[in-house]
Amino acid sequence: MPTHVLAEAHGDERGALLAFLEAQRGGLRRAVLGLTDDRATERPSASELTLAGLVKHVAETEQGWLETAQERPHSIERNQDTWHLSFQLEDGRTLADVLTFWDGVARRTEEFIRTVPSLDDTFPLPKAPWFPPEARQSMRWLVLHLIEETARHAGHADIIRESLDGKTAFELVDEEREAREA
């Protein structure tokens, strides 16, 4: 990641975790900087992954984990038959729509983490063959898992973007900075 995450205020663990999560989100957002929907849905390699699909998947995944931690039903249900749809724009949705959706999810995640009484508070993991029965995880684990998930896909996005037009993460950081300053 070619950006520096500013140090948190002394002892602000929540702020530090959220800053690292936002830094990883920024890497993925920069990967789609300046792209049209057509370019963002191109597959420049043997992989089925697209930049727009990665953004949508990360946004849906973050929302799903937030709802799990809040012990609420998932507003977007995915199963073995629909999992692939989390990686595709569908029903006329655009990259801009998905980015707006993700911005809302990010705001809700930050509000939740900043207001939960303790990062040591836990929530039950869903029943799945890969989770131990009756397992619980902490809110700290939740944010660390979101950082991991987002970083993994931001790395995929770097490769896809460079394959599309040769732009690297460093170049995109500069473009983003120039656009902000303009």
Annotate 119-133 with DSSP letters as a single string: TT-EEEPPP-TTS-T
**Per-residue confidence in pLDDT tens, the chain, 182 aa:** 467 787 677 778 999 999 999 999 999 999 999 999 999 999 998 999 999 999 999 999 999 999 999 999 999 988 888 888 889 998 889 999 999 999 999 999 999 999 999 999 999 999 889 999 999 999 999 999 999 999 999 999 999 999 999 999 999 999 999 989 98
Residue labelled with tokens 């500069």: 174
What would the two tokens of residue 32 be?
Answer: 């789609």
User: Could you tell me the two tokens for 121?
Assistant: 């508070």
**Can you give the pLDDT at residue 7?**
67
- Please name which of 148, 145, 126 lies closest in space to residue 136, comparing C-alpha atoms: 126
Q: How far is CA 64 from the centre of its chain?
A: 11
Three-class secondary structure assignment of 68-120: HHCCCCCCCCCCCCCHHHHHCCCCCCCHHHHHHHHHHHHHHHHHHHHHCCCCC
Q: What is the pLDDT of residue 80?
A: 85
- Six-digit token pair at 52? 């727009």
